[in-house]
């Protein structure tokens, strides 16, 4: 009996959650601003907000509101009875994502500049529910994207088998179609649920003229006055402010399909790529058999360097439906010839150019400054190469560095590249439009523009302190990370941005603790802070297997609020956990 008892004790799990003390910096701040006392008044808190948190405009009313909310949250006191905070109250306030977030939630960029002056949250093959070859087509991922703030929805439109209606599907694959009208109706219903700024529908059009006329009818009947239809060809794009609550159609005007072919022939090629970077290799979502099947279909897929349309010319007549053409507000298309020709800027004419990720790399290498100049006036859309069968994505920085407004991503995939996209569009109140930094829009006295290859001096240094983490014991099962003991967490902190700024650092591992305390500081010198994203990941160390994922987020450096902040973490798909968060410090020097 005794020996049995001893064996049981041996395997008793150690899951006691200890409440860690506030970090030394929090204690010191409380001591300084409570003037050595046991309580911090609203006026003390206001001074702390102004002097440590960088909130110069904080009022006594703001501070009183925080005190009241902390009391209600911690002590369930509905009425404002106590006007001060204890050290624990103060610590819990700093740890509150709702009251003390690392970035603001309001639209604060100038929204009155032309559309070409903004990065725009852009989806690729927005109708796919999973991989690019065999997943279902549906309006569900479109709705999900719009609710996340995506502002550019891409639809591939094809004739149905009877050639009398229009379906949305990924052409020449096994994807099951969804009706175009269903997609349009869902876009209308959800377009402005998250943001009032315009939604652009990019159509990859594989239709005959009679079906194009049918699409025109669907568009006008579904969207009516919401459609933005300029009287004549645009010479400059309107602003997001001017286009609030409007739907914009972008595709090639019908006659331009034939002209595009010679350009595609010049630019088509395949390039080997690597999805690996300093953060490690991304997992594939396809089985080995699926990937092999997919590779056989590569030549038929949209792997072309420039413009991913797979056009069916057999039934395309030279006449074009005039109504359909009138509905196209942003003309896609390109002149004949190579990349240099495609990047030419036309007087009194604007357009959208599409390049695959490899074509962008090629253009950046040979004509980087021309790309930047092109994107000051015109719109550049970059899309994933066709061999990304598992809906993976590419590094978005190369597009952003060159001013590309529409860096189109597979929102239905997941992985580190998509986390960066989520991070970029947390900017500006998550409204889906982020004003490009001045350096990408300005011109020098001799018409020179930003050169992405130029070596630049350090402009700003970001100091990041990782204090502690909490919430895993609430969001995960006790045995999720380790069967017999609490988890061993470490944090990775890094910068994604221009090549000179990219780096990654790591805290020590805190063993056997659900509420790890690291208290480690890292310094990141930045040459282009305007394009930098702070990458944060937490992992659980596993000696025998791959480390377990425990949360991530990306934050735009330009939006970071200084001081001690609560940073909420997300799962691998980018959905916010209920409770998991870090306490971190941010300072610019």
- Contact at 8 Å (CB) between 435 and 113? yes
pLDDT at 272: 39
Q: How far apart are CA 428 and CA 106, in angstroms?
A: 6
Other C-beta atoms within 10 Å of 11: how many?
8
Q: What is the mean pLDDT of residues 255-267?
A: 48
pTM of the model: 0.88
Q: How far apart are CA 333 and CA 336, in angstroms?
A: 10
Domains and CATH numbers, the chain: 24-94 (1.10.238), 115-271+288-440 (3.20.20.190), 460-588 (2.60.40.150)
Q: What angle do CA 246, 427, 109 make, to 5 degrees?
A: 65
Name 79's Cβ contacts closer than 8 Å, sequence gap at least 6: none
| Residue 277 pLDDT greater than 80, yes or no | no
Q: What is the mean pLDDT of residues 115-135?
A: 97
Q: How far apart are CA 111 and CA 511, in angstroms?
A: 48
**108-145 as b/e, with b when 16 or more CB fall inside 10 Å?**
ebebebbbbbbbbbbbbbbbbbbbbbbbebbbebbbbb
| Percent of residues, the chain, with pLDDT higher than 70 | 84
| Percent of residues, the chain, with pLDDT higher than 90 | 78
pLDDT at 271: 40
Residue linked to tokens 């609020």:
561
Instruction: Give the lowest-confidence range in 209-218, 319-328, 408-417.
Output: 319-328
| Residue 124 falls in the annotated catalytic set | yes
Q: 279-303, pLDDT tens digit by residue? A: 444 533 444 444 444 444 433 333 4
The residue from 117, 124, 303, 422 that is catalytic is 124
Instruction: Give the lowest-confidence range in 1-10, 83-92, 364-373.
Output: 1-10
Q: Determine the angle formed by the axes of helices 42-51 and 60-75, rounding to 10 degrees.
A: 110
Q: How far apart are CA 496 and CA 556, in angstroms?
A: 10
pLDDT at 338: 86
| Residue 170 falls in the annotated catalytic set | yes
Q: Strands 563-570 and 576-588, how do they pair?
A: antiparallel
Q: 421-448, pLDDT tens digit by residue? A: 999 999 999 999 999 999 999 999 999 9
Give residue 395's pLDDT band: very low, low, confident or very high (50, 70, 90): very high
- Contact at 8 Å (CB) between 576 and 545? no
The residue from 91, 117, 167, 170 that is catalytic is 170
End-to-end CA gap in the chain: 65
Q: Kindly tell me the burial class for residue 161, based on how many C-beta atoms sit within 10 Å of its own C-beta (0-12, 13-18, 19 or more).
A: exposed
pLDDT at 307: 53
pLDDT at 269: 42
Give residue 13's pLDDT band: very low, low, confident or very high (50, 70, 90): very low
pLDDT at 42: 96
Q: What angle do CA 196, 400, 302 make, to 5 degrees?
A: 90
Which residues pair with residue 489 across a beta bridge? 510, 540
- Length of the chain (residues): 589
* Element spanning 293, H or E: helix 288-296
| Residue 165 pLDDT greater than 90, yes or no | yes
């Amino acid at each position: 009996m005794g020996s049995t008892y001893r064996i049981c004790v041996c395997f008793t799990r150690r899951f006691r959650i200890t409440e860690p003390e506030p970090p030394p910096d929090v204690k010191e701040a409380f001591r300084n601003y409570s003037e050595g006392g046991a309580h911090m008044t609203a006026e003390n808190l206001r001074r702390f907000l102004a002097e440590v948190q960088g909130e110069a405009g904080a009022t006594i009313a703001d501070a009183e509101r925080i005190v009241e909310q902390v009391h209600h949250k911690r002590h369930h006191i509905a009425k404002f009875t106590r006007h001060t905070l204890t050290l624990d109250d103060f610590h819990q306030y700093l740890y509150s994502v709702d009251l003390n977030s690392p970035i603001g939630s309001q639209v604060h960029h100038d929204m009155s500049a032309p559309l070409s002056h903004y990065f725009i949250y852009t989806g690729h093959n927005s109708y796919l529910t999973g991989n690019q070859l065999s997943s279902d087509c549906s309006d569900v991922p479109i709705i999900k994207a719009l609710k996340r703030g995506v502002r550019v929805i891409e639809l591939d439109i094809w004739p149905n088998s009877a050639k009398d209606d229009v379906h949305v599907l990924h052409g020449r694959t096994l994807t099951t179609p969804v009706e175009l009208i269903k997609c349009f109706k869902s876009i209308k219903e959800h377009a402005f649920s998250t943001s009032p700024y315009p939604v652009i529908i990019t159509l990859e059009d594989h239709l005959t003229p009679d079906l194009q006329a049918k699409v025109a009818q669907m568009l006008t009947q579904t969207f009516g006055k919401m459609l933005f239809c300029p009287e004549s060809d645009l010479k400059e794009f309107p602003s997001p402010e001017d286009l609030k609550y409007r739907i914009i159609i972008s595709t090639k005007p019908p006659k331009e399909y034939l002209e595009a072919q010679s350009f595609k022939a010049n630019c088509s090629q395949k390039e080997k790529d690597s999805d690996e970077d300093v953060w490690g290799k991304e997992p594939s979502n396809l089985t080995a058999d699926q990937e092999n099947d997919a590779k056989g279909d590569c030549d038929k897929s949209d792997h072309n360097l420039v413009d991913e349309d797979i056009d069916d010319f057999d039934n395309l007549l030279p006449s074009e439906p005039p109504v359909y053409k009138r509905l196209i507000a942003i003309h896609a298309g390109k002149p004949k010839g190579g990349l240099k020709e495609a990047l030419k800027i036309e007087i009194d004419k604007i357009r959208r150019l599409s390049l695959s990720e490899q074509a962008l790399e090629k253009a950046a290498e040979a004509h980087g400054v021309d790309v930047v100049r092109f994107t000051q006036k015109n719109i550049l859309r970059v899309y994933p190469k066709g061999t990304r069968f598992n809906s993976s994505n590419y590094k978005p920085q190369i597009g952003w560095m060159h001013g590309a407004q529409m860096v189109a991503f597979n929102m239905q995939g997941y992985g580190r590249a998509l986390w960066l996209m989520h991070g970029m569009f947390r900017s500006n109140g998550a409204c889906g439009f982020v004003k490009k930094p001045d350096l990408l829009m300005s011109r020098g006295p001799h018409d020179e523009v930003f050169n992405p290859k130029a070596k630049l001096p350090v402009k700003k240094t970001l100091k990041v302190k990782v204090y502690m983490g909490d919430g895993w014991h609430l969001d995960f099962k006790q045995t999720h990370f380790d069967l017999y003991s609490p988890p061993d967490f470490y944090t990775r902190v890094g910068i994604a941005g221009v090549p000179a700024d990219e780096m990654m650092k790591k805290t020590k591992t805190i063993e056997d603790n659900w509420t790890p305390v690291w208290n480690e500081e890292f310094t990141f010198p930045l040459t282009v802070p305007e394009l930098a994203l702070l990458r944060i990941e937490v992992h659980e160390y596993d000696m025998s297997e791959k480390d377990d994922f425990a949360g991530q987020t990306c934050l735009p450096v330009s939006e970071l609020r200084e001081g001690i902040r609560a940073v909420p973490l997300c799962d691998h798909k980018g959905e916010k956990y209920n409770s998991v968060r870090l306490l971190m410090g941010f300072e610019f020097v």
